[in-house]
């Protein structure tokens, strides 16, 4: 992946930069000349390093703006001092003044501050220009190193998040993942004005499996069950292990009628064939399912929706198990629709 470079500067400024920095075979480079263009580019494209021409209008504002953006703290900003009045004063070798100017530039938001040597300046030797180029390359290298460390950190955080949100036994999303995703799905459904439904299901008499065959067999049974469930869900459906032998499925853009059809299919595919644990053991199980769909009065966390589906699951288990129960249009526990097999 190429590092992304944003140059805030004029054509003349570009001519002063080392060729190594402007190599488009190595870096992805965008060039802008106004503050609004720079901000727009940063919002659209992830940026690793920003090279800022101090004499260009809006340069100091860009540095300050970057410093205020917490999410952009990873961007390395190199400010190139090319303002004639400051360069002239610097040539007088007033070290105290120069240190104050450097400090002011860094306080405004720059991560590095580089004094440029004017191309038409005859008092500087080739060695001076070479040293100046080395400073620029060194600061640029620091920026690249910081960007790489940030990418590595993002990758590690993504991996840790995936581990934290996954159930190690079934490889489904876990309850913590559900608690994060359910409110997001509710908000999205309301924003898009799409239907959103939910299934909660439980393995009937699962304790008997553990008591009879042991927990290792029970664990293997849950793994096989999850694979069968996933093979019979749509690509947009998201399954979670809610706890023990209980699972939740979020159904994006799905009406109650569609959700019932999915629940009925899941109930059927579990009941119709046994689960082969090994060459000597096959186990038949059934599941009970509760179904509910998002209503205007549901809270934004989705907890009330989950609670209604759970009440339906409880009703399914209390009335014989191995069935699908849904909450009807009257939104009352005494008005449950039951489909058994």
Domain assignment of residue 169, yes or no: no
Query: Is the separation of the CB atoms in 210 and 220 below 8 Å?
Result: no
In this model, does residue 9 exceed pLDDT 90?
yes
Query: Is the separation of the CB atoms in 42 and 8 below 8 Å?
Result: no
pLDDT at residue 330 in the model: 44
The CATH number of residue 54's host domain is: 3.40.50.2300
pLDDT at residue 338 in the model: 57
Residue 245 to residue 321: CA distance in whole angstroms:
14
Q: Which residue has the higher pLDDT, 74 or 191?
A: 191
**Residue 339 confidence class, pLDDT cut points 50, 70, 90:** low
25-34, 98-107, 254-263: the lowest-pLDDT one: 98-107
Contacts for 187 with CB less than 8 Å, ≥ 6 apart: 300
pLDDT at residue 16 in the model: 87
Say whether 106 sits in a helix, a strand or coil. helix
Domain assignment of residue 117, yes or no: yes
Helix, strand, coil percentages in the chain from 3-state DSSP, rounded to 5: 50, 20, 30
Assigned token pair, 65 = 């703006």
DSSP letter for 117, please: P
pLDDT at residue 334 in the model: 39
Same domain for 208 and 306? yes
Print the domain residue range for 81. 3-164
Residue 308 to residue 297: CA distance in whole angstroms:
12
Mean pLDDT of 15-40: 91
**Residue 123 confidence class, pLDDT cut points 50, 70, 90:** low
Assigned token pair, 304 = 């009330």
Query: Is the separation of the CB atoms in 106 and 113 below 8 Å?
Result: yes
Residue 106 to residue 67: CA distance in whole angstroms:
10
Max distance between CA atoms of the chain, in angstroms, equals 96
Same domain for 26 and 133? yes
pLDDT at residue 298 in the model: 95
In this model, does residue 329 exceed pLDDT 70?
no
56-65, 144-153, 200-209, 309-318: the lowest-pLDDT one: 144-153
Q: What percent of the chain has pLDDT over 90?
A: 65
Tally of structural domains, the chain: 2
Same domain for 35 and 183? no
In this model, does residue 337 exceed pLDDT 70?
no
Mean pLDDT of 3-16: 92
Residue 101 to residue 81: CA distance in whole angstroms:
10
pLDDT at residue 202 in the model: 97
pLDDT at residue 340 in the model: 53
93 catalytic per annotation:
no
**Residue 335 confidence class, pLDDT cut points 50, 70, 90:** very low
Same domain for 108 and 221? no
Same domain for 251 and 102? no
At 136-169, the pLDDT tens digits run 999 999 999 988 888 888 778 777 777 788 999 9
Contacts for 29 with CB less than 8 Å, ≥ 6 apart: 4, 5, 6, 7, 22
Same domain for 212 and 101? no
Q: Which of 57, 245, 257, 297 is catalytic?
A: 245
pLDDT at residue 69 in the model: 87
Which of 114, 142, 164 finishes a domain? 164
The CATH number of residue 209's host domain is: 3.30.70.270
pLDDT at residue 120 in the model: 63
Q: Which residue has the higher pLDDT, 45 or 175?
A: 175
Mean pLDDT of 60-67: 92
Residue 164 to residue 275: CA distance in whole angstroms:
29
Same domain for 137 and 71? yes
Which of 137, 164, 191 finishes a domain? 164
Residue 75 to residue 56: CA distance in whole angstroms:
20
The residue among 235, 232, 237, 256 whose CA lies nearest residue 248 is 237
Domain assignment of residue 170, yes or no: no
At 252-296, the pLDDT tens digits run 999 999 999 999 999 999 999 999 999 999 999 999 999 999 999
Query: Is the separation of the CB atoms in 234 and 197 below 8 Å?
Result: no
Residue 286 to residue 284: CA distance in whole angstroms:
7
Same domain for 124 and 186? no
**Residue 74 confidence class, pLDDT cut points 50, 70, 90:** confident
């Amino acid at each position: 992946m190429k590092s992304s470079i944003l140059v805030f500067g004029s054509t003349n400024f570009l001519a002063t930069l080392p060729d190594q920095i402007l190599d488009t075979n190595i870096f992805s480079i965008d060039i802008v000349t106004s503050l609004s263009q720079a901000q727009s580019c940063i919002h659209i494209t992830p940026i690793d390093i920003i090279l800022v021409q101090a004499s260009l209008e809006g340069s100091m504002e860009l540095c300050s703006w970057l410093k205020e953006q917490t999410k952009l703290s990873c961007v390395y900003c190199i400010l190139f001092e090319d303002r004639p009045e400051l360069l002239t004063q610097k040539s007088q070798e007033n070290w105290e003044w120069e240190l104050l100017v450097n400090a002011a530039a860094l306080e405004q938001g720059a991560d590095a501050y580089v004094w440029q040597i004017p191309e038409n300046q005859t008092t500087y030797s080739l060695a001076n220009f070479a040293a100046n180029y080395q400073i620029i390359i060194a600061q640029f290298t620091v920026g690249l190193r910081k960007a790489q460390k940030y990418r590595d950190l993002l990758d590690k955080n993504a991996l840790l998040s995936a581990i934290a949100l996954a159930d190690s036994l079934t490889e489904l999303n876990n309850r913590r993942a559900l608690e994060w995703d359910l409110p997001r799905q509710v908000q999205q459904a309301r924003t898009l004005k799409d239907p959103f439904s939910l299934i909660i299901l439980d393995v009937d008499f699962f304790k008997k499996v553990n008591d009879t065959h042991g927990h290792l067999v029970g664990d293997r049974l849950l793994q096989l069950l999850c694979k069968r469930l996933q093979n019979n869900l749509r690509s947009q459906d998201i399954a979670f292990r809610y706890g023990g032998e209980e699972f939740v499925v979020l159904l994006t853009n799905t009406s109650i009628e569609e959700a019932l059809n999915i629940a009925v299919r899941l109930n059927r595919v579990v009941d119709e064939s046994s689960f082969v644990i090994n060459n000597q053991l096959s186990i038949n199980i059934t599941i009970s399912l509760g179904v509910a769909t998002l209503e205007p009065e549901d809270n934004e966390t989705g907890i009330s929706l989950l609670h209604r589906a759970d009440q339906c699951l409880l009703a399914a288990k209390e009335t014989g198990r191995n069935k699908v129960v849904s909450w009807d249009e009257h939104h009352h526990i005494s008005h449950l629709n039951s489909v058994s097999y």
